[in-house]
Structures are given as C-alpha cells and as structure tokens.
C-alpha cells in the first residue's frame, strides 16, 4: 500500500469518527433527536438528524463546544456486535437505524455492529479511531436539508456539515480556499459582470445570456470552429427535436429514460427534444452513398440539447436543462481511427494550453463496467478493440491515462481530460470516444476500395463540451478577469473631463473592431477607474489635456496598474497582437 493511499484511509477514518462525536453533541442539545447516517466525505463529514426544531447557524457554536468537551475527555471508541433482531429491539426509539437494520437483514446479515463512545452508542460498521485524542482539527461549517436516503419521497432531515484535515494548517488553508471560491463563484460574478440571468417565468435551469455574456459565447464558438476547420471539420446544424424512434435506435431512450422531454404535436406525433446531437448528425451521413475516398468525414456543431434535471440538482450554469453543446463526430475507416484520435488529442492540448490549464492535465481511459454488460450497446469484441486503440494512443502520446472501469459512454470507451482550476477543483470537459456500435445500429455503410459495403467507425469528440459549464470554468478560474480576447469589453476610455469626450470618441473610432466603450459620465476619474476595475475590463485608456495635446493615451492594465503613455496606434497594434495570440 502506498503512503498516499494509507494517509487517505487514515483521514477518512478520523472524519467518520468525528461524525459520531457530532451526533453525541447534537443529542446532548436535543435528547429526542433521531439519528440518520454520518459518513466521511471529501474534506470532512456530516450527520443527518430529525430534530424538534430547525437548527440555526448560532447552534454550530454550541455543538462545536460540546464536541470539543467530549474530545478533551479522551473517550474511547469500542466496538461490539449483536444479532440483528436484538439490535432492532434495542433501537426502538431510532426508526431510521431500525430501517438500516432491515436493509442489512435483507442482504443476509444476521449480526450488526455498534460503536460506543462514552455513553453514546451508534449502529455502525466502522472502523473508527481508538479514542477521541486521535481526532484531527475540525470546523463545523453549515446546516442543510437532506432527504432520508436521498429520496424525495422520504422525510427531510437536517444535515450538519463539518471540515476535517490532518493538521490545523491544512484546515486553515482549505478554509481560505473556500473563502476565495465564494469570491469567484460564477453565480456571484455572473450577476456582477452582467453575463447571464435566470427568470422564474422561464424556469430553473434555463439561463438567459445578456449581450456581454453572448459576446463570450460567440468568441468561444468562433475560436473553436476556426481551430476545428483547420483539421477538416465542417459545420452542420440540426433540429432541436426528433421522433422518439431516432433515440430508440441509438439507445439514448433507454439511457436517459426520465430525462427526456416529450413533445406532443396537434397531430399527436411523439417528438423528443434532443438529449444528444450524434443521432442527428448520423442522419446527415446516411443521407447519401459514401465511398472510402470521402472518408474521413468530420462534422461539428454547437447547438442546444435538453435533459430534464431534478430541481434540487440544478445549480447556476453547472447543471442546466438547456445545454449548449459543442461537439463533433468523425466517420472514418478502422485504419484511420488512431490518426484521428491523435489529432483530436493534440487539438485539445493546444486549446487548453492557451488558457494555461495544460500543466494540470490528467487523462483517464474510461472503459466498461465488465460486470454489467447490459448497460452498453455493441459487441464485446468491438469494445476490446476500441479499448486497445485508446490504450495505444495513450502510450504513444505519453498521456499516462488512468483506467477507470464503469465510466465508458453508452456506445464505447473514451479518453477523458481532467484539469485543475485556480481553486484546485478538478474539471472534466474534453473527451474523445470511439464508437463501433452506433454505425451498426443505423446500418451506416461506405463502399470500400474493393467495391464492397463496409461499416464506418464513429469518433465522438468535445473540446469545449457544454458552453455553460465551460463558462463556469472560465469565470471561476480567472476570477471574472477574462483574457482580453474573450472579454466582452476589451477597452474602456476614461475622459478626465467633458472637454475630452470628443477625443475619446475619436480614439474609439481608431480602435475599430476592438470592443471599446467610452465612459463620458460627469464623474471623477477616480470613480471611473474604480468602476472599470470592478468590471474587470482588461485595458483602461485615460485621456486628459496632456493626452489630447500629445495625441496619446495613458494606458492602465487590469491587475497591473499604469503602463505609461502610448500613441493610439502603438496601443492598437499591441492589443491586436494579444487578441490574435488568444493567450491567457
């Protein structure tokens, strides 16, 4: 066992032990509290309770004090077992624990285990630390509602969350990072920078992008389409809905099930809002005979897809109902597959390198869950061949892809690319997937060099993936201060007095296609600068009597301050070069 795995297991045991101490502390406040579950989670722990009143943030101080008193007393964690039926009777005042015992009995368990900590006893499989003196630094952070067993049909319980790390410095660092995350939250910055809004009349999970937000989306789309065109991709456009039959053939009806939006027409035809674009693009390929000379054929599309999400899972732009997806599909021969994948991997690397994210790159090779073949479409032999091809690409390109069983797509294995943003969050967006199965389901063919029908291979790829989730990455990674090429307003001209407005407008005209605004309000220059800084505008050009006289501008860069005086032509040349480089 590696040192890293051992340390990970040790801190998980400590976090789980803290959840028991949390339960003791809550029961001291509320003797009639009914206990749910209290697992360890990433970075901490929680416990669910049914309580006689709603908890308030001030209660966390009292609970923390109770926990620290128990920890200081060096209480031991002692394990014992008893028959499940006897345990059920013992816990007659704990209905949720009794339900857990019944679950264990249904799985064939005859005995259950308890852990005793002081006078407190809890049904638990463990393991735990030896005593409370072994517990790490912690901090209770929040209270939330949580359905028992995660089902909306069950009672809403109260969940208390806590953080725990091996050392106080790790805990402090994480708390600081969380505070920074709140400042960078895309929902907060999206509102402050006027990028997107939501409307109760339209519905949750259906974002509306403002003019500024739309500039970012348009720039991203133009950039990614230009990159893909260089690799032979042609743009297509497909409808937002299709007959249900299309998704029955592709297998997506079975995969997405309740997530599909059904649309009934006046003539009682059953349509579905598209959950994916690949079956639509397949019909473009299938619309005419194809020859091996035509292949590879590469389509790209940025368009809306729709999946019904549970209301409680919708969150800003991270989880939406209307998803703007950038993806593409290549139809090629088996002999061309590996070259296509290598090209796509290089495209992904180049794009994310321009954003400064490549240094945190991790790659996973997502394969089938071999114990549940019914989850997938296609033939086992094809799956083995696809997995082999992706492993060979990983080896050739030194991607060191980690094999992840059960993470494959419906139709084939994939290479998934993970990046860490400025807050250390792992984000998976780009993907490259091989698909032998879907072309067979749709009877796709091409004429090979011998004049015989052959079945093409499909390669699915996403560079940006969902524009909504990609915008989350950009906003939070750059804390709203987007690279100049993506910024909705690239230059703000700030006249010091009204008499300088005419010169400011002249500069704006000179800058041409550079996205420029003039702040001609009768306000102090200090206020204008502060507000432009708050809007995280990359460049401010300050103009007064001196600048008018010398035909120059005083340049100020967001995050860097004053850059000195320059001619308008010199500034325009420099900013255009920066925009064309598309760098972060």
Mean pLDDT to the nearest integer, 15-36? 95
- Give the mean pLDDT of the chain: 92
Q: Which residues of 19-49 are buried (b: 16+ CB within 10 A; e: fewer)?
A: bbbbbbbbbbeeeebbbbbbebeebbbbbbb
Q: What is the pLDDT of residue 1?
A: 47
Please give the Cα distance from 433 to 462 (Å, whole number): 9
Span 302-318, average pLDDT: 87
Could you tell me if 49 and 65 are in contact, meaning their C-beta atoms sit under 8 angstroms apart?
no
Is the pLDDT assigned to residue 460 strictly greater than 70? yes
Q: What share of the chain is helix, strand, coil (3-state, %, to 5)?
A: 40, 25, 30
DSSP one-letter string for 230-283: TTT-EE----SEEEHHHHHHHTHHHHHGGGPPEEE-TT--EEEE-S-SHHHHHH
Query: Residue range 46-69: average pLDDT?
Result: 95
Query: Does pLDDT of 267 surpass 80?
Result: no
482 with 216: CB under 8 angstroms? yes
Distance of alpha carbon 582 from alpha carbon 485, whole angstroms: 6
Supply the pLDDT for residue 5: 57
Q: Count the neighbouring beta carbons within 10 Å of the beta carbon of residue 304.
A: 13
Whether the predicted pLDDT of 119 surpasses 90: no
Q: How far apart are CA 458 and CA 435, in angstroms?
A: 5
* CA atoms of 283 and 254, how far apart (whole Å): 20
For residue 286, pLDDT over 70 is answered with yes
Phi, psi at 510, each rounded to 5°: -65, -35
Across the range 246-267, mean pLDDT stands at 84
CB 273 within 8 A of CB 205: no
Average pLDDT over residues 292-316: 90
| Interval 182-197: pLDDT, tens | 899 999 999 999 999 9
503-560 pLDDT, tens digit each: 999 999 999 999 999 999 999 999 999 999 999 999 999 999 999 999 999 999 999 9
- pLDDT for the residue 8: 73
pLDDT score for 370: 86
pLDDT at 177 exceeding the cut of 50: yes
3-state secondary structure 422-475: CCCCEEEEEEEEEECHHHHHCCCCEECCCCCEECCEEEEEEEEEEHHHHHHHHH
Domains and CATH numbers, the chain: 3-178 (3.30.980.10), 215-237+277-477 (3.30.930.10), 491-581 (3.40.50.800)
Type and span of the H or E element at 347? helix 334-354
Rg for the chain, CA atoms, rounded:
29
Structure tokens at 75: 């209480």
The three-state secondary structure class of 418 is: strand
Judged against a pLDDT cut of 70, whether residue 210 lies above it is answered with: yes
DSSP helix/strand/coil, 411:
coil
Q: How far is CA 110 from CA 84, 287, 569, in A?
A: 5, 62, 83
Task: Write the CA distances from 468 to 63, 212, 568, integer angstroms.
Answer: 39, 14, 36
Name the one residue in this structure whose structure tokens are 């809890």: 122
Residue range 550-568, pLDDT digits in tens:
999 999 999 999 999 999 9
Angle between helix axes 380-396 and 334-354 (nearest 10 degrees) is 50
pTM listed for this prediction:
0.82
Under a CB-based contact definition with an 8 Å cutoff, are residues 14 and 136 in contact?
yes
- Tens of pLDDT, residue by residue over 471-494, are 999 999 999 999 999 999 999 999
Choose among 4, 499, 573, 467: nearest CA to 219.
467
Q: Are 87 and 112 in contact (CB under 8 A)?
A: yes
């Amino acid at each position: 066992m590696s040192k890293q795995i051992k340390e990970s297991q040790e801190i998980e045991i400590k976090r789980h032990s803290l959840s028991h101490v949390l339960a003791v502390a809550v029961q001291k406040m509320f003797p009639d509290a009914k206990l749910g579950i209290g697992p360890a989670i990433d970075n901490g722990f929680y416990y669910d309770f049914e309580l006689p009143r709603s908890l308030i943030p001030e209660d966390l101080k009292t609970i923390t004090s109770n926990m620290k008193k128990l920890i200081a007393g060096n209480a031991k964690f002692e394990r014992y077992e008893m028959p499940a039926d006897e345990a059920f009777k013992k816990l007659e005042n704990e209905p949720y624990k009794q339900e857990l015992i019944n679950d264990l009995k249904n799985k064939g368990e005859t005995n259950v285990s308890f852990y005793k900590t002081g006078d407190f006893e809890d049904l638990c499989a463990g393991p735990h630390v030896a005593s409370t003196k072994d517990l790490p630094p912690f901090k209770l952070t929040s209270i939330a509602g949580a359905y028992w067993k995660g089902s909306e049909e069950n009672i809403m319980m109260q969940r208390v969350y806590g953080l725990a790390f091996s050392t106080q410095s790790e805990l402090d660092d994480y708390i600081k990072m969380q505070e920074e995350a709140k400042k960078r939250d895309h929902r907060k910055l999206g509102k402050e920078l006027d990028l997107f809004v939501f409307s109760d009349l339209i519905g949750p999970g259906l974002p509306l992008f403002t003019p500024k937000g739309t500039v970012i989306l348009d720039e991203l789309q133009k950039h990614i389409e230009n990159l893909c065109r260089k690799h032979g991709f042609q743009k297509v456009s497909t409808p937002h809905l299709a007959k249900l039959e299309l998704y029955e053939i592709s297998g997506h009806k079975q995969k997405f099930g309740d997530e599909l939006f059904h649309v009934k027409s006046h003539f009682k035809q059953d349509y579905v809002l598209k959950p994916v674009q690949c079956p639509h693009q397949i019909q473009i390929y299938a619309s005419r005979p194809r020859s091996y000379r035509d292949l590879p054929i590469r389509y790209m599309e940025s368009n809306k897809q729709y999946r019904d999400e549970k209301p409680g899972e919708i969150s800003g732009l991270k989880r939406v109902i209307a998803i703007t997806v950038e993806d593409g599909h290549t139809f090629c021969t088996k002999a061309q597959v590996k070259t296509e994948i290598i090209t796509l991997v290089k495209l992904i690397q180049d794009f994310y390198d321009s954003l400064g994210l490549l240094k945190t790159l991790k790659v996973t090779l997502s394969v089938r869950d071999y114990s549940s073949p019914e989850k997938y479409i296609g033939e086992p032999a094809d799956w083995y061949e696809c997995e082999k091809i992706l492993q060979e690409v990983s080896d050739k390109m030194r991607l060191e892809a980690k094999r992840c069983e059960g993470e494959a797509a419906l139709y084939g294995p994939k290479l998934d690319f993970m990046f860490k943003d400025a807050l250390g969050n792992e984000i998976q967006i780009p993907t490259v997937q091989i698909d032998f199965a879907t072309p067979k389901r749709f009877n796709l063919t091409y004429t090979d060099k011998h004049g015989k029908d052959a079945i093409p291979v499909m390669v699915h790829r996403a560079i940006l993936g969902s524009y909504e989730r990609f915008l989350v990455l950009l906003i939070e990674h750059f804390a709203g201060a987007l690279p100049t090429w993506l910024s909705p307003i690239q230059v703000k001209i700030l006249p010091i007095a009204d008499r300088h407005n005419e010169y400011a407008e002249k500069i704006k005209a000179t800058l041409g296609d550079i996205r420029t605004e003039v702040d001609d309000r009768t306000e102090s220059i200090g206020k204008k600068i502060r507000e432009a800084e708050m809007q995280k505008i990359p460049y401010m050009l300050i103009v007064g009597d001196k600048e008018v006289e010398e035909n120059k501008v005083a340049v100020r860069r967001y995050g860097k301050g004053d850059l000195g005086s320059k001619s308008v032509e010199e500034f325009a040349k420099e900013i255009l070069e920066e925009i064309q480089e598309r760098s972060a």
